[in-house]
Amino acid sequence: MQQHTSQVLYAYWNEVRGERLAPRRFDIEPAQLGAVLSETFILECDDAKSASFRLAGTKVCDSFAREFRGTPFMELFLAEDRDRLAQSIEVVRGQGAVLVMEAEARAPGHASVRFEIVLMPLVHTGTSISRLLGSVTAIDPPIWLGTETLPPLDVLRMQMVWPDGRPQAVVDTLRHQPVLIPELANARLVRINRRSFRVLDGGLAND
């Protein structure tokens, strides 16, 4: 997270969360967010593909020159990015991750503008994650931003942040089961074409 709003919102969300997978929706007090509130939003998210805006700050709406309340979140992005984004949102909902994205809009007749977008899980009622707290911040906003409706965003980068250091599903597994493969703790992390793999040295490598 590079933008001030993202950092402030994440720090507040994580403090309110405590040791839980996610804080409750009504634990979030808008008055505590101060100047970053205008760049925040809340999504209703019973499943990733149907996520829609329940609330959107004034600066979010102004930047895109449109009103977001009640509109589908996926409409904000190019069609070819939506399946990949939906998969990432399901990880946020199911495992308590925080999703950080960088996305770009290329408005006709203007230079492109980039945004940092962050999504954090919230529990609304019951125990399931059905809300997302987020923020949208323009990176080096141009002076023309807000004068016209932006086209759908092209997702340039997505990253998962694990508040507890590793996926919640793994935490739960380790808490209740013995570790069957302790060598995994020493495995190297290798990334190829945006995919990550754990590599154990040994075996045929020693030949």
Residue ranges of domains in the chain: 4-164
C-alpha angle 54-118-140 in degrees, rounded to nearest 5: 110
User: Is the predicted pLDDT of residue 140 greater than 50, yes or no?
Assistant: yes
What is the share, in percent, of the chain residues with pLDDT greater than 70?
Answer: 80
Distance of CA 148 to CAs 57, 151, 191, 207, Å?
18, 9, 39, 63
Interatomic CA distance for residues 147 and 118, integer angstroms:
24
Q: Are β-strands 154-161 and 129-139 bridged in parallel, bridged antiparallel, or unpaired?
A: unpaired
Q: 9-62 pLDDT, tens per residue?
A: 999 999 999 989 999 999 999 999 998 999 999 999 988 889 999 999 999 999
CATH architecture of 4-164: 2-Layer Sandwich (3.30)
Distance of CA 80 to the CA centre of its chain: 18
The pTM of this model reads: 0.79
Mean pLDDT to the nearest integer, 68-90: 95
d(CA 54, CA 161) in angstroms, rounded, equals 24
How far is residue 120's CA from residue 122's CA, in Å, rounded to a whole number? Answer: 7
Q: How many angstroms separate the CA atoms of 98 and 12, rounded?
A: 13
What is the pLDDT averaged over residues 77-85? 96
Contacts of 117 (CB under 8 A, 6+ apart): 100, 101, 102, 103, 134, 135, 136, 137
